[in-house]
Amino acid sequence: MTPAFAFNTTPGLRFGSGAAPAAAEELAARLGPRILVVTDAGLRAAGVPTPTLEALGRLATLVIFDAVEADPSRDTLMAAVAAGRDGSVTGILGIGGGSPMDVAKLSALLLGSGEDLDTAWGVGQARGPRLPLALVPTTAGTGSEVTPVSIITLGGEEKRGVVSPVILPDIAVLDPDLTLGLPPAATAATGIDAMVHAIEGYTSRSPNNNPISRMLAVEALKTLGANIERAVQDGSDTAARAGMLLGAMLAGQAFANSPVAAVHALAYPLGGTFHIPHGLSNALVLGPVMRFNAPEAARAYADLAPHVFPDIGGGGSQDRAQRFIDALGDLSARLGLPPRLRDVNIPKEALPKMAKAAMLQTRLLVNNPREVAQADALAIYEAAW
């Protein structure tokens, strides 16, 4: 008998080339007459959101907040909230990668409820209500448009999350045209990030690991595996970009309900301390974490392997799992991602501090197929170095 589980996702999805500007009328109807747009300056300077904002600006007053940085800080979040409050906004539109979408989620929560952010940290602590919220991703990686998760960096290094169905958006608009300008390195890193979401969602020890999440994780890996190299090699391949965006969203739906684990826990100190992009951080520790997990997760890894790499055939679970891990490392290399922590200038003497910081991510580590002690985290970092 299937154990009891809960499954939540974004109630409205719009997908397709040109979907973002085409959704302007629906977005205006949902978000109201005064909309806080949360994005980043580089994206805006590149003109990526311009057609959408022009279409939306004909229907509503836009308050633009474009100061979101990678690994956004609490100060940035509170500045976005202040901009929304000063503008008396009625709804929030996040457009960008994971960082703008994370800030948009919590801006909607804090503006809509007035609750104290410090009471919202953790799982199921945010109460709401929130303002109407729409998200438009411009990278195929985080799946944030369909997850109840927002991550903020505190004190310059610690990453802390709010996890609650309250911050799932009302609608997500997936337009592959908005990802066409993403450089190869960012395409590769965000694509591996999405694959990690699917792998960890499938193998999660969470009691809410469920058949729907596992089905979505498998479909995500099929779609991502079939498209990631084409998307990196030819950024103008709209079909490959569409496949990546769809795959990242499916992976997001999977891990939103069957949460991620040690790969993310060990990746966070790389971003918080050394400002390594999140997707690349995941790629750097993926192999060592999977090798650590293999004694407990070999069967699950073996089941996933042929969905990404059809050439991985027979053999026992441990053998197929090891070939899957090796093939993921080879894929990262073909995509041009640096293979080791030393290649991104992380000093070896920093590893013990990183291991200690990773242990703070208890909401993630509890989901790992194999229990991780601080000594284990250090050994994983040493293997990745």
Contact (CB, 8 A) for 280 and 337: yes
pLDDT the model gives residue 232: 97
pLDDT in the model for residue 205: 98
Compute φ and ψ for 281, nearest 5 degrees: -60, -45
pLDDT in tens, 163-172: 999 999 999 9
Give residue 237's identity as a one-letter amino acid code. Answer: D
Give CA–CA dist 60/152, Å, rounded. Answer: 29
204 touches 255 (CB < 8 A): yes
In this structure, are residues 367 and 206 in contact, taking their beta carbons and an 8 Å threshold?
yes
Put the strands of the sheet holding 158-163 in their side by side order: 122-123, 158-163, 149-154
Element (H, E) at 78: helix 74-86
Letter for the amino acid at 145?
E
Length of the chain as a residue count: 385
335/338 Cα distance (integer angstroms): 9
Strands (E) in 128-221, as ranges, are: 133-137, 149-154, 158-163, 171-174
Q: How many angstroms separate the CA atoms of 299 and 303, rounded?
A: 6
Alpha helices (H) along 87-131 = 98-113, 117-120
What integer pLDDT is reported at residue 156 of this predicted model? 73
Give 111's contacts (C-beta < 8 A, 6+ positions apart).
36, 81, 84, 85, 89, 92, 130, 131
Rounded to two decimals, what is the model's pTM? 0.96
Cα separation, 147 vs 201, whole angstroms: 12
Taking CA atoms, 71 is separated from 97, 113, 324, 345, 357, in Å, by: 11, 24, 30, 19, 16
* Three-state SS at 165: helix
pLDDT tens digits, one per residue of 224-240: 999 999 999 999 999 99
* Domains of the chain (ranges, CATH numbers): 12-178 (3.40.50.1970), 182-384 (1.20.1090.10)
- Residues with pLDDT less than 50, the chain: none
Pair of tokens at residue 200: 């960890």
What pLDDT shows up at residue 125? 96
State how far the Cα of 236 lies from the Cα of 22, in Å rounded to an integer. 21
pLDDT computed for residue 14 by the predictor: 98
Q: What is the pLDDT at residue 261?
A: 98
CA distances from 312 to 247, 299, 301, 316 (A): 21, 14, 12, 11
Burial of 130 (0-12, 13-18, 19+ CB in 10 A): buried
Give the pLDDT score at 274: 93
CB 263 within 8 A of CB 219: no
